[in-house]
Structure 1
Amino acid sequence: MRDDRFQATYLIETPLDPAKVAEVMAGEQSCGTFTRVEGETDALRERARATVVSVERLDAVAAPSLSNAWLERRGTAGPWQRARIVLDFPVANVGANLPTLASIVAGNLFDLGEVTGMRLERIDLPPAYRRRFAMPAQGLAGTRRLAGVPRGVLVGSIIKPNVGLSAAETAELVSRLCDAGLDFIKDDEISADPDHAPLRQRIPAVMAAVRRHQDRTGKHVMVAFNITDETDAMRRHAELVAREGGSCIMASLNWCGFSAIETLRRSTDLALHGHRNGYGAMSRHALLGIGFQAYQVLWRLAGVDHMHVHGLQGKFAQEDSEVVESAHDCVAPLAGEVDDRVMPAFSSGQWAGTAPATFAAIGHEDLLFMAGGGIMAHPSGPAAGVASIREAWDATARGEPLEQAAASHPALREALGFFGGR
């Protein structure tokens, strides 16, 4: 790949010639439109037009994945050919402008009349272009340093109940979770700055509990405060977290937007926990939306430090293979020698029993393993829930089956009996 070009890969479905559709895509997302226009000289096209790198024909289907009035008006029938297309774009068309980069690789393409399916699968960047965007402020190494976990899985949990607790009640729960032995605690994505526990009260109350625990034990528990809001409010609340000695903030990426997250990144070096809620609307249809590789590229360019990937054998719709691939994406540098790896955050239905499958699939322990019910609902309480997860990961790392390890670890034994039958 040239230093002055970047690439995007798409899966399309069309009743037309995929090679011709690829040319339409290249023109639409660079200097062209549906027909050549005045001023679109050969020199301009040479300088600014996207180009088609490859067109790989895949299978054909008898029915379209999505409706298309443009094709229906023309009486265009199938079969509908699927193809993988790689386009090459000039860096100069974009510059270091993340919203525009997103609009070029994932904008009007989804509305093209020529297709009955369009999915952005991946984005590949040259190192020089990647360096023009934000880097993670903490990433893998900084997160481990701030949480005091130099090796092994970081064990985390989520504030439950999701909403309804007052600031004082939240702080009391955080105190219990700190004592339970967690490395990481986060707000739920639906609890940001509610009337019953505003951040101006919740942040000081929670951090007082974290500091008391640190004074007793020397352990700083990382708390990700959900500061999702308009940009000025997020910056204000990030400053409050920093003043209170906190180390992490969280934002709902899709609803804040690239510009807000970029501004937040520039204003703080706190670890930025990127929550992807809403991503399913962009990804669950196989022939529509954005695949995780491309999605996480865009948000990593905004400077996040952690990315949610859901969890294996979890409660959500994703296949385990998609979760695994997403986790691998997070720990792969975006552009060669640039170390911009971020922490994959596993959650959704996780408990001690999902540790072996996770380790077998991922093959490393650079991850945040979060359990809500898997900790809070343990029959012997949250401390036993945390212990069961640590015991499960320790056994898995040494190659010991959980049933065998459970014989000498009561917390793990209880977890297997209680959660394993569900």
Structure 2
Amino acid sequence: MTERIRATYLVETPLDPAHVSEVMAGEQSCGTFTRVEGETDALRERARAVVEAIQPLESVDEPALPNAWLQRKGTKGPYRRFQVRIAYPVENIGTNLPTLAATVAGNLYDLGEVTSLRLERMEVPAAYRSRFDQPAHGIPGTRRLTGVTQGAMLGTILKPNVGMSAGDTAALVARLCAAGVDFIKDDEVCANPDHAPLSERVPAVMAAVRAHQERTGKHVMVAFNISDETDAMLRHAELVQREGGSCVMVSLNWCGFSAVQTLRRRTPLALHGHRNGYGAMSRHPLLGIGFDAYQALWRLAGVDHMHVHGLQGKFAQDDDEVVASARACYTPLTPDMDDAVLPAFSSGQWAGTVPATWQAIGRDDLLFMAGGGILAHPDGAAAGVASLRQAWTAVRAGMPLEDAARSAPELAAALRFFGGK
């Protein structure tokens, strides 16, 4: 039996959904808009994608997006929406992540027959999953490296985002280590700037991390943003490893699948996957790529952590989407493989967003990152970290934060200061 990769789409069209589904399957496998010489029945049987299921949804009077092809033909609504599952033969793709992405999420978006299209889910067979990299660390490895055996792993983001020298950054990292964080990351816009190149910043920061570890026995994981062209990323990962670091961060969408795969295979460090730019692929509910499919592709590249944004945060995603994204990270890509990745919660997080996170997720195998929630605490960064730990202790005990704050001054200060903003 031919192994197949299955992709589920949300589609809108004024045409017959069954016809449009067959156009999609042909376009992304052996076909084009018309049958061509060499496209034999035997070849089609072996290589053509198969439409497995169509689920009709609602119809609307106006299209989600403009479409010149339909306008030229004078085709009007109603515009039918439907879900379709298409199965692609593995043999068409091979062990090739960029081509897999091009197959399930390529020219489909430009088809004249559709007025919107969104890739929602992707399923891969177990044998095919095993061809690709798994997380080198994932949840258990990150716990081991940070020494956090239970409870949420608490992290922060270096602020100001840019402008600090290597020495200033190291001094801030030293203060944050002393404050009690488990994880520190660069901002996505600070990678290798002229004012603090990685060649200077990594040794300076890691000297502070090592000094803290020598004093306390605690290794604080720092995710250095090494996003760059591939050779530079490899050089910088080697520098981080030489200096005793445990993690690097990559802006996934801008570095690309091939670069991240190469990095995964050349470094033992944890890969912190930052999804900045994902909103361009996902904010329209009828266009782009849903997080379930998006994270599946990046997990095949071998990342260890994936950003999911935060509950009650500062970005546009609603809480249901954040929760679904985290659950997707926890779910194995195939039932027989433990390849979960660590969901990283961030964006406007502070002690007051902990209850919503705990209630929705129900577990603390997560990275809870607060930039302003730590660094802007009125009593300083150490109090900011303490307020987060107090909040997590309270929710795990089933105690409202207001009750816990009576004996937790750092939490009480956070509730007064951030709660009124």
The reply to whether TM is greater than 0.5 is yes
Alignment-derived partner of residue 39 in structure 2: 40
Q: For 1:115-126, what aligned pairs fall within 5 Å after superposition?
A: 115-126=114-125
1:150 CA displacement: 1.2
In structure 1, the partner of 2:66 is: 67
Match of 1:112 in 2: 111
Are positions 1:383 and 2:382 aligned together?
Answer: yes
Equivalent residue number for residue 203 of structure 2? 204
SS in 1 for 2:288: strand
1:3–1:126 CA contact under 8 A, matched in 2: no
**Deviation digits for residues 305-360 of structure 1, max 9, x if unmatched?**
00000000000000100000000000110011111100000000000000000010
In structure 1, the residue corresponding to 2:320 is in which secondary structure? helix
Preserved contact between residue 13 and residue 81 of structure 2 (Cα < 8 Å): yes
Kindly state the Cα deviation for residue 418 of structure 1 after the two structures are TM-superposed: 0.3
Give 1:13's aligned amino acid.
Answer: E
Aligned positions of 1:285-304 closer than 5 A: 285-304=284-303
Q: Which runs of 4+ in 1 moved over 4 A?
A: none
Maintained 8 Å contact 1:307/1:343:
yes
Structure-2 residue corresponding to 1:164: 163
Checking the alignment, whether the CA contact within 8 Å between 2:2 and 2:89 is kept in structure 1 is: no
| Equivalence map 1:11-90=2 (5 Å) | 11-90=10-89
Partner secondary structure for residue 16 of structure 1: coil
Aligned AA for 1:56?
A: Q
The answer to whether 1:318 aligns with 2:317 is yes
The equivalent residue for 1:341 is 340
Q: Does the CA contact (< 8 Å) of 1:3 and 1:129 recur in 2?
A: no
**Alignment of structure 1 residues 148-297 onto 2, 5 Å:** 148-297=147-296
Aligned residue for 1:203, secondary structure, equals: helix
Cα deviation 1:34-78 (Å, max 9, x = unaligned): 011100000000000000010100000010000000000000010
Offset of residue 361 of structure 1: 0.4
**CA apart distance, 1:157:** 0.1
**Contact 1:3–1:128 (Cα < 8 Å) also in 2:** no
Whole-Å separation in 1 of the counterparts to 2:94 and 2:346: 35
Unaligned stretches of 5+ in structure 1?
A: none
Partner SS for 1:337: coil
Q: Gaps (5+ residues) in structure 2?
A: none
1:330 aligns with 2:329: yes
Q: How far apart, CA to CA, are the structure 2 residues paired with 1:139 and 1:372?
A: 23
Give distance in 2, aligned partners of 1:315 and 1:194: 26
Percent of aligned positions that are identical: 71
Q: Aligned-residue CA RMSD in angstroms?
A: 0.6
Shift of 1:170: 0.1
Instruction: Indicate conservation of the 8 Å contact 1:348/1:371, yes or no.
Output: yes
Q: If the length of structure 1 is used for normalisation, what is the TM-score? A: 0.99
CA distance in 1, matches of 2:122, 2:334: 10
